[in-house]
Homo-oligomer: A and B are copies of this chain.
Amino acid sequence: MVKSQTLVLDRTFAALSDPTRRALLARLDEEDSVSISELARPFPVSLPAIMKHLDVLEDAGLITREKTGRTVNCQLIAQPMQEAVAWLNRYERFWNKQLDRLTAFVERDQPPTKKARKK
């Protein structure tokens, strides 16, 4: 069931790379279980376009769909995002380092008595 892990990241990041898809997820974040037509309503694109986005999100394991009568309700699954964050956190020390450098730079300027340097 490992499903190549790398493939999971591929699909997760790809799914997140589209603003419409991120907006759909955001909607499912504030209200779980939303029907497809309600999900689609705010967007200026056709329903089939939204369907495709939902397909992508489902393939990435970021949502599930559940049919009830003629309506289909979607809900968010956050776990793949967590894995994405886990991958990204590998670089945390890196941006901390850069932040530290910035902090050091800013703090060095505190006493304005020394000679001014530029750039």
Interface string of A62-103 (1 = CB under 8 A from B): 000000000000001011011011011111001100100000
List, in ascending order, chain B residues with CB within 8 A of A76's CB. 91, 94
Counting every copy of the chain, the complex holds 2
- A-side binding surface: helix, strand, loop or mixed? helix
Give bound CA distance, A84 to B84, whole Å: 10
List, in ascending order, chain B residues with CB within 8 A of A82's CB. 95
A13 at interface, CB cutoff 8 A: yes
Interface size class of A (residues with CB under 8 A): 20 to 34
Give bound CA distance, A84 to B22, whole Å: 12
State whether A6 touches B19 (Cβ < 8 A).
yes
Give bound CA distance, A25 to B87, whole Å: 11
